[in-house]
Amino acid sequence: MKPVLEYLPRNSGESFVTRLFDYQYYPTPWHFHPEYELVLVTESTGKRIIGDQISYFEPGDLALIGPYLPHTYKNDAKYFAPRSSLRAKSIVVHFKEDTFGTGFFDLPESQKIAGLLERSFKGLAVKGKTNAVVADKLRKLVKANGFARWQLLLEILHVLSESKSLEYICNNAITGKNTAETIRMNQVINFVLDNFHRDISVKEVAQLTNMAENSFSRYFSQRTRKPFTSFVNEVRLNHASKLLVETDQSVTDICMKCGYNNLSNFNRQFLKVYKKNPLRYRKAFLHENT
């Protein structure tokens, strides 16, 4: 995919960016930037696409995203309702290696942090107790000034570098490129997220992007390292997993609401991705949270 190059300007006297975002819904398209990014969702739900992976996000979702790794957060449909009172809030930190000064990563004491940043090129999801510790420090970081602010960021990275509760987000490190196709590929992502509940054909999306079917299929696969149909399937299954744990709807109803016309195929696809059929997935979640 061809994402947008995003730039968040630093304030005067600061070596890195910290922002507390508060929107009706997240407005940022599929994008990338040369900075490392720490993003903590504090309010709202939706789908998160980072590199080649799609997942559901909710308050507390925390990720470290490496430079040039394309990503976007799109809120659920209810956030786009004209009279919605819902808010999409997050804490976002952008920093570069030179935030810590020349030669910092050559120091023996900084090698674990250097390794952490290297791993972030595939994206890192922060889980467990580390999530709570880092989230607390990020809330303090928003209010901090001067040297204390810089020190807090270093503490956050130290905690992350020592943690065993980090999980890779992407299967592959993907690098964003800024080209004239930015608008086209954002159309594709938004179209799928808005229409996955019904049949979507390659022909339909190819027409949307003014491309021949074969050209679009080849283009999409080259840039995402997966076929377009696999991308659509991941979006559908991700939404299905959400409905299974958040509602008491039947598997058949969920199957139909997620764009599957065949229950057997839905069960087979779900089992392939989540290693459990839908009913066992729901029972396992209920067992773990009661």
pLDDT for 52 beyond 90: no
Q: What letter represents residue 258's amino acid?
A: C
Report pLDDT digits (tens) over 63-103: 999 988 888 899 998 999 988 999 999 999 999 998 998 88
pLDDT for 133 beyond 70: yes
Report pLDDT digits (tens) over 182-193: 567 777 888 888
* In a domain? residue 33: yes
Buried b (16+ CB within 10 A) or exposed e, 60-90: ebbbbbbbbbbbbbbbbeebeeeeeeeebeb
Cα distance between residue 104 and residue 99, in whole Å: 9
* In a domain? residue 56: yes
* In a domain? residue 125: yes
Q: Of 168, 185, 207, which residue sits at a domain end?
A: 168
Residues 36 and 156 occupy one common structural domain: yes
Rg of the chain on CA atoms, in Å: 20
Residue 220, judged by CB atoms within 10 A of its CB (0-12, 13-18, 19+), counts as buried
Residues 117 and 60 occupy one common structural domain: yes
Quick check: helix, strand or coil at residue 140? helix
The percentage of the chain sitting over the pLDDT mark of 70, rounded to a whole number, equals 90
Cα distance between residue 4 and residue 6, in whole Å: 6
Residues 76 and 118 occupy one common structural domain: yes
Residues 205 and 271 occupy one common structural domain: yes
Q: How many domains does the chain have?
A: 2
* In a domain? residue 188: no
Cα distance between residue 22 and residue 71, in whole Å: 19
Report pLDDT digits (tens) over 279-290: 998 988 887 766
* Other residues' Cβ atoms within 10 Å of the Cβ of residue 170: 19
DSSP β-bridge partners for residue 168: 124
Q: Containing domain of residue 46, as a range?
A: 4-168
Q: What is the pLDDT of residue 285?
A: 81
Residues 14 and 66 occupy one common structural domain: yes
Residues 215 and 265 occupy one common structural domain: yes
The CATH number linked to 153 is 2.60.120.10
Q: What is the pLDDT of residue 1?
A: 44
Q: Are 18 and 95 in contact (CB under 8 A)?
A: no
In the predicted model, what is the mean pLDDT of residues 41-61? 92
The CATH number linked to 219 is 1.10.10.60
In the β-sheet with 31-32, what is the strand arrangement from edge to edge?
A: 4-5, 31-32, 71-75, 46-50, 53-57
pLDDT for 229 beyond 50: yes
Residues 23 and 130 occupy one common structural domain: yes
Residues 118 and 17 occupy one common structural domain: yes
Buried b (16+ CB within 10 A) or exposed e, 123-157: bbbbeeebbebbbebbeebeebeeeebbebbeebb
Residues 34 and 109 occupy one common structural domain: yes
Q: What is the pLDDT of residue 124?
A: 96
Residues 126 and 203 occupy one common structural domain: no
pTM for the structure as a whole: 0.68
